[in-house]
Amino acid sequence: MKKIITIVFSIIIGVVAFYLSINTTRSEEPNNYYQVYLDEELLGTIKSKTALENYIDSESDYYKKKYGVKKVYAPEGLEIKAVTTYNKNIKTEKEIYEILKAKKSFTIDGYQITIKKEDKKDNKKVYVLDEKIFKESLSNVAKIFVGIEDYEKYVTNTQSEIKETGSLIENISMEENMTIKKVKVPVTETIYQDTSSLTKQLLFGTTSEQNKYVVQEGDTISKVAFNNKISVLEFLISNPNFTNEKNLLFPGQEVVIGVTNPQVKIKVVKNEVKDLVSSYKTEYQYDSNMYVGEEKVLQEGEEGLERINQEVTSVNGEITYVDTKSKEVIKPTTNKIVVKGDKKVSNVGSVTDWAWPTDSGWTISSEYAYRTNPITGGRELHDGIDIAGTGFGSNIYASNNGVVVTAGYHYINGNYVIINHNNGYYTYYGHMSKILTSVGNVVEKGQVIGLVGKTGYATGPHVHFSLATGGPMYGGGTIISPWTIFR
């Protein structure tokens, strides 16, 4: 009997202990609490939803001050569900806050702009506190690529009609599709609060400082841009105090070298009517009485003028398509007509038949002989004959067929020409007032190659005529008396 009593007593104690253990976690009556989930993960149970939201807001003064907002919200993906339970194992608002803070960012009211690219993987999201910030920044980017004055006239519908020439913006648009919606923005995202920083981001793809350059002597805007591997447009965008590439720079001036990386594409379609010069063409006619290498202008050319109407499409300031709608000839072109010789001349001169190099009425003013130089006063061999008396500007003729090997200037003999006659002889013609041939020309005996003058060391107009064999005079040849070929 005692044994049975002991067993029953043990059972009663066990049952009492079980109920006592249950009553440590359960109340006598169920309570209305809230279970907190983050992305469907249960974080714990709390007494008051409002108390948690207020705690989150009260602990977020830093973000309120940073973004100038009145309220900070829980992270995205947070769910607080009402629940009726006997469970008294609840967490404080602070405990839940610390768990949330470790797992995900808190949020504030703002706007998400999604810029949709052709490749959806490259879609770009921009966050702003006020949608006006994005619209104003987008407008600023458009002004930069279109021009402030032209943009304002377009949006206010005050553009002037094209009367004869000019341009008119037909449309300004974005090539990308965009969506704007109000969202809870995570405070860890880049949230733009002003137009200047967002405009910079949309233009350069960053808000970081751009490189600087100190202007050097002789720099121009186009030179600085090219040397720093940016376009003139990028230079002007980075330095809005300059209006065009002709603006002057000064040494020591600091300019910004900004490499643009536009996050949007501003498309502009313009109607342009402009007058363009049309260049004339050159027509050639041939005359068998003129030598190869000779030519004369029979009719001078004159440029014409055309009025062109075009539709010009540009994206971010770069022309992408030009569609010419019409052309009107305002002034026709007049082609230039040039007569060229096609008569071929042998470049080998006769050994026995030579032509005198000047007109008639000549006088030998100085022979091939030793003399006292009338200019320098020195004693020397006068290595040619001076032919005078035919008059300043009178013709000088090639003494034989040959090739012009030199045509230039020397301080002693002035303007001069050397001809290789390809027969062992070279002739030299000095003191010309004007040279009428060029190196490489094939000339014929009796052809005009220059005019009599007094360039170099000369007391009056005359031709210094020299003769050499085996090479050009003063270039390896042996200078001999010119009378050798005339007597």
Instruction: Report d(CA 392, CA 19) in Å as an integer.
Output: 140
- Per-residue pLDDT at 183 exceeds 90: yes
Q: Is there a single domain that holds both residue 61 and residue 177? A: no
For residue 295, how many other CB atoms are within 10 A of its CB? 16
Structure confidence at residue 134 as a pLDDT band (50, 70, 90): very high
Structure confidence at residue 119 as a pLDDT band (50, 70, 90): low
Position 140, amino acid? N
Structure confidence at residue 28 as a pLDDT band (50, 70, 90): low
Number of domains in the chain: 4
110 in any annotated domain: no
For residue 143, how many other CB atoms are within 10 A of its CB? 17
Instruction: Report d(CA 137, CA 295) in Å as an integer.
Output: 64
The half-sphere exposure of 181 on its side-chain side, counting CA atoms within 13 A, is: 6
pLDDT in the model for residue 459: 85
Position 59, amino acid? E
Instruction: Report d(CA 273, CA 323) in Å as an integer.
Output: 12
CB 139 within 8 A of CB 173: no
Please state whether beta strands 336-343 and 282-291 pair in parallel, antiparallel, or not at all (unpaired). parallel
Q: What angle do CA 81, 83, 88 make, to 5 degrees?
A: 120
Q: Does residue 364 sit in helix, strand or coil?
A: strand
**Residue 272: closest CA among 169, 178, 118:** 169
pLDDT in the model for residue 428: 98
pLDDT in the model for residue 29: 77
**pLDDT tens digits, residue range 204-233?**
888 888 899 999 999 999 999 989 988 888
Mean residue pLDDT of the chain comes to: 88
Torsion of CA 194, 200, 205, 207, to 10 degrees: -70
- Per-residue pLDDT at 57 exceeds 90: no
Domain boundary among 257, 278, 312: 257
The residue segments making up the domain with residue 330 are: 267-342
- The token pair that represents 405 in the structure block: 């090997």
Which DSSP category does 240 fall into?
Answer: T
1 in any annotated domain: no
- Per-residue pLDDT at 185 exceeds 90: yes
- Per-residue pLDDT at 479 exceeds 80: yes
Domain boundary among 195, 229, 257: 257
234 in any annotated domain: yes
**Residue 192: closest CA among 261, 108, 251:** 108
**pLDDT tens digits, residue range 322-368?**
888 898 999 999 999 999 888 777 899 988 889 999 988 888 888 88
- Per-residue pLDDT at 37 exceeds 60: yes
419 in any annotated domain: yes
Q: Is there a single domain that holds both residue 246 and residue 272? A: no
**pLDDT tens digits, residue range 232-261?**
888 988 898 998 889 999 999 999 998 888
**pLDDT tens digits, residue range 269-315?**
999 999 988 888 889 899 988 877 778 999 999 999 999 999 999 98
pLDDT in the model for residue 15: 44
Helices 148-155 + 131-146 axis angle, to 10? 120
Q: Is there a single domain that holds both residue 334 and residue 440? A: no
> Which CATH number do you get for residue 311?
2.20.230.10
Q: Give Cβ neighbours of residue 205 (< 8 Å, ≥ 6 apart).
A: 260, 261, 262, 263
351 in any annotated domain: no
Q: Is there a single domain that holds both residue 153 and residue 64? A: no
Instruction: Give kind and range of the element (H or E) at residue 203.
Output: helix 195-204
Q: Is there a single domain that holds both residue 135 and residue 253? A: yes
- The token pair that represents 213 in the structure block: 């350059």
2 in any annotated domain: no
- Asked which of 116-120, 186-190, 276-280 is least confident by mean pLDDT, the reply is 116-120
218 in any annotated domain: yes
Q: Is there a single domain that holds both residue 320 and residue 302? A: yes
pLDDT in the model for residue 116: 83
Of residues 8 and 345, more confidence is placed in: 345
Instruction: Report d(CA 430, CA 452) in Å as an integer.
Output: 9
465 in any annotated domain: yes
Helices 49-58 + 93-103 axis angle, to 10? 60
Q: Is there a single domain that holds both residue 293 and residue 245? A: no
> Which CATH number do you get for residue 445?
2.70.70.10
- Asked which of 24-33, 103-112, 335-344, 444-453 is least confident by mean pLDDT, the reply is 24-33
CB 461 within 8 A of CB 433: yes
Q: Is there a single domain that holds both residue 42 and residue 88? A: yes
Domain boundary among 213, 233, 257: 257
Q: Is there a single domain that holds both residue 452 and residue 391? A: yes
Q: Does residue 148 sit in helix, strand or coil?
A: helix
Q: Is there a single domain that holds both residue 402 and residue 453? A: yes
Structure confidence at residue 52 as a pLDDT band (50, 70, 90): very high
CA distances (Å), 286 to each of 1, 53, 236, 335, 447, in order?
150, 98, 53, 16, 19
Q: Is there a single domain that holds both residue 157 and residue 36? A: no
Q: Considering Cα of 92, then 98, then 104, then 107, what sign does the dihedral take?
A: positive
Q: Considering Cα of 431, then 435, then 438, then 441, what sign does the dihedral take?
A: negative
For residue 451, how many other CB atoms are within 10 A of its CB? 19
> Which CATH number do you get for residue 236?
3.10.350.10
- Per-residue pLDDT at 22 exceeds 60: no
Q: Is there a single domain that holds both residue 282 and residue 213? A: no
- Per-residue pLDDT at 20 exceeds 90: no
Q: What angle do CA 473, 478, 484 make, to 5 degrees?
A: 100
